[in-house]
Amino acid sequence: MVNRAMNVMVKDYEESWPVLFKEEAEKLRAVWKGELAAIHHIGSTAVPGLKAKPVIDIMPVVEQIEKVDDYNESLLALGYEPLGEMGIPGRRYFRKGGENRTHQIHVFQKDNHHEIDRHLAVRDYLRAHEEAAAAYGALKASLALEFPKDIAGYSAGKDDFVKELERKALDWKKDNL
Q: Which CATH number do you get for residue 147?
A: 3.30.460.10
DSSP string, 43-86: SGGGSTT--B-S-EEEEEEES-GGGGGGGHHHHHHTTEEE-TTT
- Kindly report, residue by residue over 7-33, the tens digit of the pLDDT: 899 999 999 999 999 999 999 999 999
- Kindly report, residue by residue over 49-105, the tens digit of the pLDDT: 999 999 999 999 999 999 999 999 999 999 999 999 999 999 999 999 987 889 999
Query: Within a 10 A sphere around the Cβ of 12, how many other Cβ atoms?
Result: 11
Is residue 2 included in any domain, yes or no?
no
Total domains present in the chain: 1
Is residue 11 included in any domain, yes or no?
no
pLDDT on residue 3: 47
pLDDT on residue 134: 97
Domain limits for position 51: 16-170
Is residue 177 included in any domain, yes or no?
no
- The side-by-side arrangement of strands in the sheet containing 103-109 is 36-42, 56-62, 103-109, 91-96, 80-82
Is residue 28 included in any domain, yes or no?
yes
Is residue 9 included in any domain, yes or no?
no
Is residue 4 included in any domain, yes or no?
no
* C-alpha span between 123 and 109 (Å, rounded): 19
